[in-house]
Structure 1
Amino acid sequence: MSSTPRRRRSLPIPSVPDTLGIVNATQQLDGRSSRWQVHREERRRELISQSRRAVHRLGPDVSMEDIASAAGTSKSVFYRYFGDKAGLQQAVGEIVIAQMQEKILTAAKSATTAKQGLSAMVSAYLQMAETSPNVYVFVTRSTDAAGSAAAAGNALGNFFDEITAMITVPMRELLGSADSPQVMYWPTAAIGLVRSAGELWLATPASPAKPDHVAMAGLITNWLTSGILPDIAAPASPTLTQTKETA
């Protein structure tokens, strides 16, 4: 009795994953993502530039709606890129700060003495603020009704912290001592004077009595390094005889 040979069952051939296709798809996605990121950054820079021009022309109280209208787009676009007005302030402020820092550092490097360096830095700060006072006020003003510091104000605070560190260097050269109280406390006090006097000068209407930014920088520098009345000696203490005669 013959037996029918049992047919072997063929095993399925395992499929080879299309790794090449996955790699290509991933590369395409990465490429599209990079292009989108570049486009988004370019669009963001464009919106910042348009916002700065709108603030310069319309004033620091300009609304987001007016800024969007000047940019030829809608408020929703600005909210998508910056979150809120404080976010836009911070973005514009970062650009302004970077430009001010570059100008101030360049001015300081061109000076031949510590005092000239201080005067050059103060002059550069005043000049940048004077170039567009509306933009300066816009990026330094808090949008919080309660008066707390907004993001842009914090950004400017960081800027003044860096300027404080910058003026410490020429002050050490001027005093010749890194451990003196003047070097420890003077730079911070100096920044307060520069900012307060500078912003008051900026808000003062133009007149023949108002100094230009170079003359104002010279005045502030003299106040910082020599005092407001350097040529007037302190009054002598009365003698015992003078005291008795007065009595």
Structure 2
Amino acid sequence: MSETPTTDGRARRWAGHREARRLELVDAACSAIAEHGPEVTTEQIAARAGVSRPGLYRHFDGRDDLQSAIAARSVERLVAELEPVWRPSGRPFDMLAKALRAHLRWLGANGNVYRYLKRTSFGTGGESATTNVRATVASHVAGMLVDGSLGAEIEPAVAHPLAFGLVGMVDSASAHWLDEPHGASLDQLVSQLTESCWAVIRASLGTDAVAGP
């Protein structure tokens, strides 16, 4: 009877060690994707992690599990990059510009990872990882629209479609810019998207409901 707590403690420590090692391998995989591009092979990921291919898969239930773990980690990193935006401060228009700049800065620094996410399913639902990113960010934006952080309190029935539409527009435009910038700088795209998103918000609510920049 007295051995049970000790056994449980060892089991928890071992589980924690395995989870930490799995995270190390996922981070190594993200580095391999950044280096080799979205067509990265399992062998290249294993080499970056310093393990054999079988050694890599001792920590994952096949390629799908590895891809889902990479996707989850990338979503976590992007949300962390945008985390300051979820704490409203300053003028709503400036907050919007700040969020767009953070997103585009992340995208520019992680272009290969983003392209990999577009090809990768997330979890078991079959949705792409980028779809999950959009849903995560859009839910945050909808919450800010509902609570008035962006200048006016909007009822959920309006806020959620508006937020998902804005995030979809930004994602599509920024993904195109990543592959074909057509001479546009990051600053230029931030300015264009900020103005466009703000115009949509004001048009949806009426120009008197939201103060201009």
Give the TM-score, by structure 1 length.
0.69
Find 1:166's aligned residue among 110, 135, 140: 140
Give the alignment of 1:80-229 within 5 angstroms. 80-109=58-87, 111-142=89-120, 149-151=121-123, 153-172=127-146, 173=148, 176-179=152-155, 183-204=159-180, 209-212=183-186, 214-226=187-199
Q: Provide the rounded CA distance (Å) in 1 between the counterparts of 2:27 and 2:13.
A: 21
AA aligned opposite 1:162: T
Higher relative contact order, structure no. (Cα contacts within 8 Å, ≥ 6 residues apart): 2
Matched length: 197
Q: Give ranges in structure 1 of 5+ residues lacking alignment.
A: 1-21, 143-148, 231-247
AA aligned opposite 2:137: I
Contact 2:72 2:122 in 1 (8 A): no
Give 1 or 2 for the bigger CA radius of gyration. 1
What is the percent sequence identity of the aligned residues?
A: 24
Partner residue in 2 for 1:233: none
Residues 27-36 or 66-75, more deviating = 27-36
1:226 partner SS: helix
What is the CA distance between 1:86 and its match in structure 2?
2.7
Q: Does 1:72 align with 2:50?
A: yes
Contact 2:142 2:156 in 1 (8 A): no
What is the CA distance between 1:175 and its match in structure 2?
6.5
Q: Provide the rounded CA distance (Å) in 1 between the counterparts of 2:110 and 2:102.
A: 13
Partner residue in 1 for 2:2: 23
Q: Provide the rounded CA distance (Å) in 2 between the counterparts of 1:199 and 1:56.
A: 16
What is the CA distance between 1:82 and its match in structure 2?
2.0
Aligned-residue CA RMSD (Å): 2.7
What is the CA distance between 1:72 and its match in structure 2?
1.9
Partner residue in 1 for 2:206: none
Q: Provide the rounded CA distance (Å) in 2 between the counterparts of 1:108 and 1:120.
A: 11
Structure 1 residues 27 and 150: CA distance shift in structure 2, 3 A: closer
Contact 1:111 1:117 in 2 (8 A): yes
2:51 partner SS: coil
AA aligned opposite 1:125: H
Q: Give ranges in structure 2 of 5+ residues lacking alignment.
A: 204-213
